Amino acid sequence: MIKDKIRQFAASDSFFDEFRRNGEIEKFLREKHSENTKLVGLMSIGTSIEHRDIMAVKIGVDHGRANKSIIYIDGGTHAREWAAVSTACYIIDRLIDDYNAGDKVVTYLLNRFDFYVVPVVNPDGYEYSHTTDRMWRKNKAILKGTDCLGTDLNRNYGFHWGGEGSSRDPCEENYSGPKPFSEPESRAVSSLIVDNKHRLMAYITLHSYGQWFLYPWGWTEADSPNKKELKRVADIGHTALNSVYGTTYKLGSPGQIMYWAHGFAHIPYVYCLEMRDEGQHGFLLPAKDIIPVGNETYAAVKAMAREIALTRRVKSNVKLKCIDSLGTDLNRNYGFHWGGEGSSRDPCEENYLGLKTQCSALINSMAPDR
């Protein structure tokens, strides 16, 4: 279990004091990139109906290396879910700050993964929810034959498009669009995923509200072939989340984008986090909860990413795969009952036993002096 530190903000660090507009978020991303060019990449993955950029950051040591695994995170698919946007920004901020502060787990993760984060998938709808209709959900698509606006981007993906939970009525909040991938926003996300699907290890989409950890499937009562593993890693994430403030989530299904990411793109670990609260404020979560929700969600993401790295043995930037920059407990590296009681498979622990037996001499010869 990760006991994630609760971040203490300086008086000048006020970005998370309130829910920010799309322009402010874009400025925030550009600043993070300019201040951390070796760690952070910035790109537009496409443009919205109203020609706003859909911005993404890449965070990782030697980010963009051709064979490096990816963890993808997004928020703001549904316009009114402001907490999803603020939490995506918070995760960006924490990954960068914790790496710069020398956090061992984050250093371990950013050597093994590039984190791709899209804080605002639906910038038009998000702005509209600030200026005109606070409860707006969809994008701002102009639809033929009706005065109703918008498509539910979460229902616009191609895998089992038009199935349970979606509507063909353009006036409904869950309207799935005239055809799969009819919207530039869903196409932008799809293109990013498809172009990198050989490297994608995990897909985490942030939503609110309800306090649910969701994983495939939801369109059918049949289980995903990977359900046991999905649940195991979700349990680890939930334990870490709960350790921060005691917040409890329920685990289960569904979520339309998850079906596409898991069923078509074949991403091994796919989750939707429906964050706080359980209905007391609903979509109107007060700004005072931005940092608490960010803290506990970040703890979950960090724990899940570490577990995925350990389970999949994701390689770091080092040339020799039996070397870990954090070291091996040589006393646990011998072959007799290797991996038994008293040892750990977690390279961040003092009793880490190494990737395999009898690798210790090479590790010892190459490890820095302590």
Give the CA angle between residues 277, 285, 138 to the nearest 5°. Answer: 95
162 Cβ contact list (under 8 Å, min separation 6): 168, 176
Cα Dmax for the chain: 73
| Of 127, 274, 296, 307, catalytic | 274
Q: Annotated catalytic, 172?
A: no
The two three-digit tokens of residue 299, written as one number: 């703890």
- Report which of 130, 140, 149, 126 is spatially closest to residue 184, judged by C-alpha positions: 140
Q: Are 333 and 359 in contact (CB under 8 A)?
A: yes
Cα–Cα distance, 321 to 302 (Å, whole number): 22
- With a CB cutoff of 8 Å and minimum separation 6, the contacts of 135 are 80, 129, 283
- Write out the catalytic residue numbers: 274
